[in-house]
Structure 1
């Protein structure tokens, strides 16, 4: 795929049918060259839409490094990176957080390492870009790290996202002077809590892809950087308590 030299590039790690593909289409519409990464991308369908497919395991640091190399070689340095990966580990025994096996806990920790490596790679790309296009790393979060009494059975997801949120907080402060933005972006329900997780709900997380796309574009395109902890609702507007 040939991309003109002036075209900003976006890499999305985690190309699911809800958030990933909708964010990709939004950025493509806004003039970005877009790479969409997943374990088994439908390469033909993505290329037909003008999207560069990337094979990547979003929980593998080595795979993520290879994905960045592929994007740099074929499109150029990304100025926007979206990390849209989570792995659910159900508790073997309900409401017993220590019933998770050591092996599953180790697998869960791989995601935390992977988001760190993704942010490192993104920073290297951002710093190498000389033009003034916005430079932003956005991680798809959830509200669990900020809940005092989160659902017990979501403990593994809470641990993953707590690391992610902490990394975004510190990185956003560290690189703000370079006009590089790091965000932990979270869809919340109308009450500011966990969104509707019923896959059959008319309005809820599982059909929130367009809202994510608009909210992420607001973060990328904002003249003045928004908060690292950015919460939005089903209408893609910032949540106001």
Structure 2
């Protein structure tokens, strides 16, 4: 992978939360990328102080995603790295009744599935327009739901999102590998490969995993050879073995 300072390396992160999004953005900025960080209501002044380009984007709206890509292209250039870091969990009113989720909320969940598809389409167009040697990588922030059985019924909407996302990354990874374009479904796991600690009070777990995501995503981007589409990593950001 080339690290030439003459190359205009651009990254666009959709989903700029205080855990994963901002840590990945700052890592890529540190590595020499011009980084656009997108969220529904970005704190423009704070992001600019960190040398990040704020973008207003709704990850569940195809029109909003397309406008955001156009804004990034106009101001920074074609992104060579795109991270889709959006997830919505709609808890059903009755924990053991998955179909008690309102139809409106489930529709919003499906909009997110469409959103990652549109983001991947836009990213592919940017990757193909870049003729330089910079990495062309799309990373979606995943979890283990597509691979687990007998999960609580309350996870229906979130699981649907992640199953679609994982399937898309699998198909895209195989379809575009010959072009040197990489698609990944990246998942934090615990030391045993299972679901990470989801207690927000835990000293180590999902809710303070931003640095681990940043390290893992950079390992995917900077790798000389492509990793698998289903990429799992642990609390230290290193691949799960």
TM bin, normalised by shorter chain, reads: over 0.9
Name 2:126's counterpart in structure 1. Answer: 125
Structure-1 separation of matches of 2:167 and 2:137 = 16
Matches within 5 A, 1:1-241: 6-240=7-241
Name the SS for the 2:170 alignment partner: helix
Inter-partner Cα distance in structure 2 for 1:148 and 1:39:
33
- Partner-residue secondary structure (3-state), 2:169: helix
Q: CA RMSD in A?
A: 1.0
Q: Which segments of structure 1 move beyond 4 Å, counting only runs of 4 or more? A: none
Structure 1 residue 78 displacement after superposition:
0.0
Partners of 1:32 and 1:106 lie apart in 2 by 35
Output the TM-score relative to the length of structure 2: 0.96
Q: Secondary structure in 2 aligned to 1:158? A: helix
What is the distance in 2 between the residues matched to 1:237 and 1:150?
26
Measured against aligned partners, the alpha-carbon deviations of 1:92-143 in whole angstroms (never above 9, x if no partner) come to: 1111111112111111100000000000000000000010101000000000
Structure 2, unmatched stretches of 5+, are none
Q: Is the 8 A contact 2:62 2:118 kept in 1?
A: yes
Q: Is contact 2:123-2:138 (8 Å) kept?
A: yes
Q: Secondary structure at the match of 2:186?
A: strand
Q: Which runs of no fewer than 5 residues in structure 1 stay unpaired?
A: none
User: Per the alignment, in what secondary structure is the counterpart of residue 12 of structure 2?
Assistant: strand
Does the 8 Å contact 2:7/2:134 carry over to 1? no
**1:152 and 1:204 mapped to 2: Cα distance?**
23
Change (3 A) 1:85 1:73: same
Structure 1 residue 193: deviation in Å? Answer: 1.6
2: CA distance, partners of 1:80 / 1:155: 30
Q: Distance in 2 between matches of 1:137 and 1:168?
A: 9
Distance 1:189 1:149 in 2: 19
**Cα offset for 1:191?**
2.0
Once the two structures are TM-superposed, the CA of residue 5 in structure 1 deviates from its matched residue by: 6.7
